[in-house]
Amino acid sequence: MTDIAPLRTGDPARLGAYELLGRVGEGGQGSVFLGVSPSGERVAVKLLRPDRGGAAGTGTAATRFQREIEILRRVAPFCTAQVVETGLFGTRPYIVSEYVEGPTLQQVVESAGPLRDARLRRLAVGTMTALSAIHRAGVVHRDFKPSNVLLSRDGPRVIDFGIAREVDALATGSGVVGTPPYMAPEQFEAASVGPPADLFAWGSTMVFAATGKPPFGMDSMPAIVNRILHREPDLGDLGGDLRDLVVECLSKDPARRPAAKDALLRLLGARGRQPDGELLTAGTAVAAGASGAALESASRTGSEVLIETPGIAPRTRETAVVTPRPGEAVPAPGGPENQPAWRRRVTALLTGVAATVVLVSGGMVYALVQGGSPGTAKVSASPTPTVVREAVDAPATRTERVRLPELKTTLHEAPGDPVRVTSFIHLTGSVSYSYARDPKSGKFESIGPYHEPAVSPDGAWTAVLPWIKMNIPGPHDSIRLIERATGREFVVRTVAKPLANYNPFWSSDGKRILLTTYKDSSADQIVGFVVVDVATARATAVTTDTLMPGTSPFMWAPGESTVAVRFPDGSGVGLRLFDLGGKTVRTIPAVGEPSSRENTFSPAGKRFVTMCPDKVATVCVWDTRTARRQAAFPAPAAATLVGWYNDAHVMLIDRTKDPRRVVVVNLKGEVVRVLAEIPADEFDGTGESFIPRFTKD
């Protein structure tokens, strides 16, 4: 039975004539509610998010939502959860449709184990019948997977048309959409994605139903994609003619996969092709063990599908869908199969190896950005030293609670804070979702999966750096820049592949971005850095005179005419500084691990902070000019160094309590402020859930 969660604060109690009883699920477009009509009939109500659609009928999400309604109406009524009505809640569109009771295939297999014999056969027939009808309506689903198959009493139903597309609208390079373990090779290669992609996903879903795991694994994203592109599927003990059909559906070549209607005939024991109007007969449907709904539709039209868009599976997320924008990278192989580069970098964020300005807590990434008033940044091509005011004010004590999208983590913010969370990455398994904060509204907006966002200090720009490199179109790595005031976007090429860039750091004036260059996407050997000039949209790649092992990123050094990076030597861990031509200008040995979340140098540049090299759970503060230790204070036994709050306070993650706490401490180690509370289940210390980035105001 489908789980129904209570309504949340802010949820409407009614939509039109329908009373809302609870939440069925939530996805990238919006929320799905269980409702009841005036006559007492249960319905599903899908409501678009308030911050996605803008005015009624405007915005990308609203356009997709409207297209979903049109697709639902296009597919024959007996194939879908029938649309009852549509309407507006203020400016937010909603769909009221038939409510379909039942768990998803994903839930059934995970709780009760794989399907066998007649149950598996009925599933295969029912879902292939669904795909036949979808394709006959001129639609490609593009995200067929176990969590989008509902096992209702009258047979399996395919749900979630939020990213479906018309067959005649397909185009090369139109964007990668899908859920990685069930995506076809052409979806990773910027090729035309048509009905054969649904057949590939169907084959993968049948393997999951029969064995409990998809045929190309469920570990890291690059490893999964590499297997899909280059390896043979693992079909386990799937046997008989179903195995033969699945093998054909999982062909790397779309042209070698059968059409849905032909595959359905084979499942029903037929040989050869028949006209569209004679795909099934009542007799063949009964012989195949088809559901009652399949039998009814077969006798009526010859092809049957049961589709229900609003009935998203409980607590599943549409954010598992990979939807890069034009110019974005798409998921691709890269790095060791057991630990992809992006995952290793996230792990580094959580374990103290230097990484970009981020706080890591249970699967999210907070980004601290230097703030200011929103607007268009004026950028010059040449760097100039930045004059900063040394801020030593004590943190505010009166704060406002801020909740993050789809998480239980709570931020505690005050108007006078010198830093605040401006972006974060939410990691779930091998999938990541990125959010950036709108400088005007303060709301967090999704910017697509598998990317590392960084908001400029003045809030004028968001830099979006792909984590997974191989399938970025063309021979170069790249970074995407979004102007927040206008929505204007452009892509800047950085380095030639296989070189790869990670870890964006904005300069304090918002004019340049510093990226670390690795020899390849495994990110285990630094070869230099890149400086991106926003005004000219040009990147300058620099090779350093010394190779730097490990994954620690370059950061801006005080004055921003030099850059610094962590380096290990015989005397321990230190810092090495380079000029913008890549020449070593200074080495500071044996100071311990620097800040792993943001710049290790204080805002005024007079100090830098590390975990002490000679004492466990102790923070050291050093004089930048002399490299002499100025202070040392104890940290919690399980603590992560984040960076500077202002010139007299640093930020730590205290992992000794539940919830985990991001705290501000003075240079005596006294906690003077809590910045965030992160439940333990959203912070597991391995990079599996939440990584925030802070920006200076």
Task: State both tokens at 87.
Answer: 């309407």
Number of neighbours of residue 483 by Cβ within 10 angstroms: 17
Among 12, 33, 147, which Cα is nearest to 428's? 147
Which SS3 state, helix, strand or coil, does residue 92 take? strand
Spatial neighbors of 325 by CB under 8 A, at least 6 apart, are 175, 448, 480, 489
Task: State both tokens at 573.
Answer: 């861990």
Q: How far apart (Å, rounded) are the C-alpha atoms in residues 391 and 649?
A: 10
Among 633, 678, 674, which Cα is nearest to 395's? 674
Q: Name beta bridge partners: 527.
A: none
Task: State both tokens at 323.
Answer: 């939807």
Which SS3 state, helix, strand or coil, does residue 601 take? strand
Among 692, 671, 695, which Cα is nearest to 395's? 671
Among 341, 532, 320, which Cα is nearest to 428's? 320
Helix (H) or strand (E) holding 493: strand 489-496
Q: Are 56 and 345 in contact (CB under 8 A)?
A: no
Q: Are 423 and 446 in contact (CB under 8 A)?
A: no
Catalytic choice (3, 51, 143, 219): 143
Look-up of token digits 């990317």 = 451
CA distances from 485 to 375, 462, 694 (A): 6, 11, 21
Can 143 be counted among the known catalytic residues?
A: yes
Q: How far apart (Å, rounded) are the C-alpha atoms in residues 514 and 504?
A: 6
Q: How far apart (Å, rounded) are the C-alpha atoms in residues 366 and 434?
A: 10
Catalytic residue list:
143
